[in-house]
Amino acid sequence: MNPNKLKELLKLYFIMGSNNCFENPAHVLTEAIRGGISLFQFREKGEGCLLDGNKYALAKELQRICREHDIPFIVNDDIDLALAIDADGVHIGQEDEHVLSVRKRIGDKILGVSVHTWAEAMAAKAAGADYFGLGPIFPTSTKKDAKPVQGLSFIRELRNKGIQTPIVGIGGINQENASMVMEAGADGVSVITAISHAESAFKAAAELSKQTQDHDR
């Protein structure tokens, strides 16, 4: 995808699965969209997550909501699911299928890759990643096997070295610190609980959206 168009989409990237929600996931997503998210990732993993047909059914339901509002729908890890439902893209980590092989399978769909080092970033770029996910930026309890907190230094390093690839930060990002992530050079922020656990997903998304829009460069 065109990097500038993707940078716009990454501004407020909401990630969610059923086990991240206290309320009906379809409702949480609808409210988040109303609040102004720009991209959605279906991440159905971890304790208590849905499997097989139930996972598929929720993916279809959330995808339909995204389509109604022109929000691209990204699938975490599960390339088979992404292909089966014709998702708009996938996001993978270093432990998942190799970037090159995923790129071959998904054609020109959006491909995001989590990277933690310069070498990982360069390899992901060479293999066809459209954007980098960097994190955890701040402490988070949402991902149990998260790598050590990296702060803003890696975002700054990539930008200082002239890397133009779209970057989104993840991990512990909320209304208080989102603007720091943008200032460091990210194109957007991805959040799970700042929206999914908020009393109002609408208000949380609206506030975060304002923070990221204010950083138009």
Active site residues: 43, 114, 143
Q: State the Cα–Cα distance between residues 118 and 109, nearest whole angstrom.
A: 24
**Nearest residue (beta carbon) to Mg ion:** 93
* Of positions 192, 198, 204, 206, contacts ligand TZP by CB under 6 A: 192
- Rule CB under 6 A: is residue 36 a binding residue for ligand TZP? no
| Selected range binding ligand TZP among 3-11, 27-35, 62-70, 137-145, rule: CB under 6 A | 137-145
Binding to Mg ion by CB under 5 A, coded x per residue (else -) over 66-85, reads -----------x--------
Helices (H), the chain: 3-9, 25-35, 52-68, 79-84, 99-106, 118-126, 153-160, 178-183, 193-196, 201-213
Bridge partners of residue 60, in order along the sequence: none
**Which residue, chain included where needed, has tokens 């770029």?**
125
Q: Quick one: 107 or 148, whose CB is closer to ligand TZP?
A: 148
On whether the CB atoms of residues 108 and 1 are closer than 8 A, the answer is yes
Q: State the Cα–Cα distance between residues 173 and 140, nearest whole angstrom.
A: 8
Query: Which residues 6+ apart lie within 8 Å of 60 measured at CB?
Result: 85
Q: Quick one: 93 or 179, whose CB is closer to Mg ion?
A: 93
| Selected range binding ligand TZP among 116-124, 158-166, 189-197, 198-206, rule: CB under 6 A | 189-197
- Does the annotation list 24 as a binding residue? no
Instruction: Please choose, from the candidates 191, 203, 161, 196, the residue with its C-alpha nearest in 3D space to the C-alpha of residue 38.
Output: 191
- Rule CB under 5 A: is residue 128 a binding residue for Mg ion? no
- Does the annotation list 38 as a binding residue? no
Count of chain residues binding Mg ion (CB under 5 A) = 3
Query: Which residues 6+ apart lie within 8 Å of 196 measured at CB?
Result: 14, 16, 20, 21, 22, 28
Dig out the tokens for 217 from the structure.
Answer: 């460069």
Under rule CB under 6 A, which residues in 140-179 are in contact with ligand TZP?
140, 142-143, 146, 170-173
- Rule CB under 6 A: is residue 136 a binding residue for ligand TZP? yes
**Which residue, chain included where needed, has tokens 């991990």?**
171
Q: Which does 142 bind (CB under 5 to 8 A by kind): ligand TZP, Mg ion, none?
A: ligand TZP
- Does the annotation list 96 as a binding residue? yes
Round to the nearest angstrom and report the end-to-end CA distance of the chain: 20
Annotated binding site: 41-45, 76-77, 96, 114, 140-143, 172, 192-193
Annotated binding site for Mg(2+): 77, 96
Query: Which residues form the interface with ligand TZP (CB under 6 A)?
Result: 135-136, 140, 142-143, 146, 170-173, 191-194
